[in-house]
Amino acid sequence: MNKDTSRRAFISTSLLGLGGMTLGTRVIPLDNKIKEGTNRSKGIKLIATTDFIDNIRITERGSRYGKPVVRSGDYYENHLCFMDRAQLDGLHEYLSSIGVTRHQWIVDTIWTLYETYPRGFDLLKEAAGSAHKYGIEFYAEIKPFEAGGFGPVLPHSMPFPDGAVALRDMRGIFPLSRPFAARNTSMNLKRRVASGKNYTAVSDIRLIKSDENITRVKPENISLWTSSSNNGFAPYKGPLSVRESIEDRYRFPYWRKCRVFHMEHLKIPPGHTYFLLRCSLADDQGDFSNEKGSIIEFVDGDGNILPHTLSTGPIDLDDHYESFYRSKVMGQLVRYLKLPEVRAEIDDLKRMQEHYHNFYSFDEYNLSDWSTFDKEGYVAAAIGKPEYMLGSLHPIYPEVRSHWLQIVQFCLDRNVDGINFRVSNHTRSPEYWDYGFNEVVVDKAKGKTDSMSVSKVNGDAYTLFLREARKLIKSRGKKITIHLLSDMLIQDNRPGKLNALPPNFEWQWETWVNEIADELEFRGVFKLRPWNLTKVLETFGRVVRSADKPLYLQGDFHGRSFERHYSSTKSEWDLVNKHPALDGYVLYETANFTRINERGKVEGSPDIIRALEKNINAEKNK
């Protein structure tokens, strides 16, 4: 063996000779028996996907990961971060040059892009026409469950007038929303149990360490603050006694002795359901730790433990002011920021500072994440749970399915060649398993509230939508693609990651493959360990091959940008070319490998050209 060859490289090379291939450092075994009649005989299809909001943001800041470029007033007045017609043509000319034969465009109506595009034309219609000009198919990609409820969480005291296109619950205001979702919050996925609107007052608070070891934290280091909302916390001035105990507590995966601080005999001001415990010690020497789902308990006067939702921490006005409220781009695209009441508030710096005084956000977290009280310097929480998973609309309602079909119709009317459906979204809950139990669902499940019964009803509802969508799409002579996601078979292998799929749905993907879809796209290569990726591709691939339909692999996008290397792209492209179940590769997404240069022209990353060199040469030789 050459001494310059690593053991890993040697093993990978050896396995390649035995019928496997490497994907980065992963080894994927291959079944050499390729089903006759699949698209494999027609060559591997290269597809590109655009999530246009990312193109806009990256163009504005100059790069995805580099230092943001300072833009002039003229830059924004002339809408230079929004592509004009010539730049759409430049994008498609470039995609055609590297062998892309289909362009998928994510249509996200959270943004106003498809109502009033700053360049003054119908964005989706022009993009489709531009693709066709260069011989490229153009598909709209729709994420039905992506209706808002993610992104920045704002203080409760910010304006929320009637009719505001935004979402609001116990956590705060979510300014990113589809209009339909904002008008119909009760049609989002509902929590299984009560949301926490009528709980009795807190009498005791318990701060729980994960073990019984002595801690440097003393009662005098702890202070209690309360509020009636997620901001404006004030010091608690009522009666209070503190004691310590050692108690048996469950800490996954077993019970053990834990040290507990008890703050007892509290007289909390009426209406104050938000709590902030501050620690005067806050440094890297912290030792009072536990999982976020176990570090604090709230108890009423009868000894009942009250449900609570943990805060993800303090947010300063500087965290939101320039990047969101005063952003020239967000001001054009976010409906909430267009409201006169909101604009007036943003222009009053003193008022904005008041909104962000002692503001604690309630963003995404995992119950198993670790928290150290005397490192972070706080633990904050609110009594109760969100009643709905805001932004995740439920297809059990005919109105929701009709809304989704209207989006499909909107796309078809703009001359797209097909529709691609993806169920994953950006709405997350640390207790996702408790959502999807809407009353009409429980009724259809004949009163059963177990997860299996509810998931069947929910899954049937989504499959019904797909059948309705197929009927509409086929009435226009177009094609339907459906995403198959790794999460449908195996949970995300990355530590601490929350489920990206709407919870408690039976994903009837085999029915979709056999009866609804024309083509399938796999997403999740970045979520799985190599042995699990192998299993998932085998499972999906076997059913898709049996149905004699093409399956496309969506590439990993993490860490990619115009300036960075595309080693994973080359490995994934090789995988697609050698794997018997795969018929095409999806470059995700164009914002990562194209840019608008200083001359206003679209150009592509040289590194991705090298990664796809064989494909590009093949296209040139046709």
pLDDT tens digits, 105-148? 999 999 999 999 999 999 999 999 999 999 999 999 999 999 99
**Considering only CA atoms, which of 282, 275, 170, 268 is closest in space to residue 233?**
275
Q: Residue 155 has which token pair?
A: 């203080």
At 617 the pLDDT is 59
Contact 402, 295 (CB under 8 A): no
Alpha carbon distance 185, 588 (integer Å): 32
Residue 595 pLDDT more than 70? yes
Torsion-angle region of residue 616: left (phi > 0), alpha (psi -120 to 50) or beta?
alpha
At 310 the pLDDT is 97
Residue 325 pLDDT more than 70? yes
- Please give the residue that has the higher pLDDT: either 552 or 564: 552
User: 614 falls in which pLDDT band (50, 70, 90)?
Assistant: low
Residue 11 pLDDT more than 50? no
At 1 the pLDDT is 39
Helix (H) or strand (E) holding 492: none
At 16 the pLDDT is 33
DSSP states of 190-225:
EBSS--SSSPPPEEEEEEE-SS-S--S--GGGEEEE
At 327 the pLDDT is 96
Q: Percentage of the chain surpassing pLDDT 70? A: 91
Contact 421, 411 (CB under 8 A): no
**Considering only CA atoms, which of 376, 478, 499, 360 is closest in space to residue 433?**
499
Residue type, 275: F
DSSP states of 505-551:
----HHHIIIII-SEEEEE-TTTS-HHHHHHHHHHHHHHHHHTT--E
Torsion-angle region of residue 446: left (phi > 0), alpha (psi -120 to 50) or beta?
left
| Torsion from C-alpha of 189, 192, 195, 198, nearest 10 degrees | 140
User: What integer best gives the mean pLDDT of the chain?
Assistant: 91
At 198 the pLDDT is 63
Length of the chain measured in residues: 622
Residue 197 pLDDT more than 70? no
User: 534 falls in which pLDDT band (50, 70, 90)?
Assistant: very high
Residue type, 541: G
Mean pLDDT over 469-485 rounds to 98
At 622 the pLDDT is 57
Q: Percentage of the chain surpassing pLDDT 90? A: 83
The 8-class DSSP code of residue 348 comes to -
The 8-class DSSP code of residue 422 comes to -
Alpha carbon distance 616, 622 (integer Å): 10
Q: Domain residue spans in the chain?
A: 44-149+394-621, 202-313+364-383
For 223-264, what is each residue's pLDDT tens digit? 999 999 999 999 999 999 999 999 999 988 999 999 999 999
Separation in Å, CA 487 to CA 346, 452, 502: 40, 17, 11
Q: Residue 49 has which token pair?
A: 């996907």
> Which of 5-14, 198-207, 501-510 reaches the highest mean pLDDT?
501-510
Q: Give residues with Cβ within 8 angstroms of 540, minimum separation 6.
A: 484, 489, 509, 520, 522, 551, 581
Beta-strand relationship, 519-523 and 551-554: parallel
The single residue listed with the structure tokens 């080693």 is: 567
Residue 21 pLDDT more than 60? no
For 544-556, what is each residue's pLDDT tens digit? 999 999 999 999 9
Residue 620 pLDDT more than 70? no
Alpha carbon distance 196, 27 (integer Å): 49
Residue 523 pLDDT more than 80? yes
At 618 the pLDDT is 55
Residue 26 pLDDT more than 90? no
Q: Residue 162 has which token pair?
A: 């009637």
At 194 the pLDDT is 61
Least trusted range by pLDDT, from 1-15, 89-103, 453-467: 1-15
Burial of 590 (0-12, 13-18, 19+ CB in 10 A): buried
For 140-178, what is each residue's pLDDT tens digit? 999 999 999 999 999 999 999 999 999 999 999 999 999
| CA 395 from centroid of its chain's CA atoms | 19
At 350 the pLDDT is 97
Say yes or no: domain 44-149+394-621 is CATH 3.20.20.80: yes
For residue 615, how many other CB atoms are within 10 A of its CB? 19
Mean pLDDT over 35-45 rounds to 55
Residue 195 pLDDT more than 60? no
For 295-312, what is each residue's pLDDT tens digit? 999 999 999 999 999 999
Mean pLDDT over 51-56 rounds to 96
Q: Residue 150 has which token pair?
A: 């993610």
Residue 24 pLDDT more than 80? no
- Produce one character per residue of 543-567: b if its CB has 16 or more CB atoms within 10 Å, e if not: bbbebebbbbbbbbbeebbbebebe
Cis peptide before 253 (omega within 30 of 0): yes
**SS3 assignment, position 458:** helix
Alpha carbon distance 110, 127 (integer Å): 19
